[in-house]
């Protein structure tokens, strides 16, 4: 377990491992919750593309400004604001006009919230293991 945690300490490895996990959490939610305006292919594309746009910022860029361990609250506020609102904006720009704007925005937001919750659960469990 310690070897895996050391591996995840490298931001690029974290990106490579975390991206598909994040997509696996967010895409099914988008597939179920996005409005009927969006065909399944668009829902799947949104799950892959939106995460690809914001995840590198959250994992590689923002930690250079806010330490995710030492400045956790500031990091989470900035990173999750960029992820949540950035993905909503990108979805609207790419796929608008939206017939069910609030439903689609809620779907994108909730998908992001689900992956955030899963990530925080993992963070909490790792902190408990490390004592």
User: Which letter, b or e, does each residue of 54-86 get, where b requires 16 or more Cβ atoms within 10 Å of its Cβ?
Assistant: bbeebbeebbeebebeeeeeebbebbbebbbeb
Instruction: For the chain, give every domain's residue range.
Output: 15-130
Give residue 131's pLDDT band: very low, low, confident or very high (50, 70, 90): low
75-90 pLDDT per residue, tens: 999 999 999 999 999 9
pTM score, two decimals?
0.92
Angle between helices 72-95 and 101-130 (to 10 degrees): 150
Report the distance separating Cα 51 and Cα 33, nearest Å: 17
Length of the chain: 131
Cα of 69 vs its chain's centroid, Å: 18
């Amino acid at each position: 377990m310690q070897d895996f945690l050391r591996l995840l300490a490298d931001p690029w490895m974290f990106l490579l491992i975390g991206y598909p996990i994040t997509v696996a959490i967010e895409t099914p939610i988008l597939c179920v919750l996005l409005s009927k305006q969006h065909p399944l292919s668009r829902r799947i594309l949104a799950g892959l593309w939106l995460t690809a746009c914001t995840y590198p910022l959250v994992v590689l860029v923002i930690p250079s400004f806010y330490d995710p361990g030492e400045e956790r609250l500031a990091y989470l506020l900035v990173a999750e604001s960029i992820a949540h609102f950035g993905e909503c904006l990108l979805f609207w720009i790419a796929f608008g006009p939206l017939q069910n704007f609030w439903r689609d925005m809620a779907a994108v937001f909730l998908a992001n919230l689900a992956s955030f919750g899963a990530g925080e659960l993992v963070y909490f469990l790792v902190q408990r293991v490390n004592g």
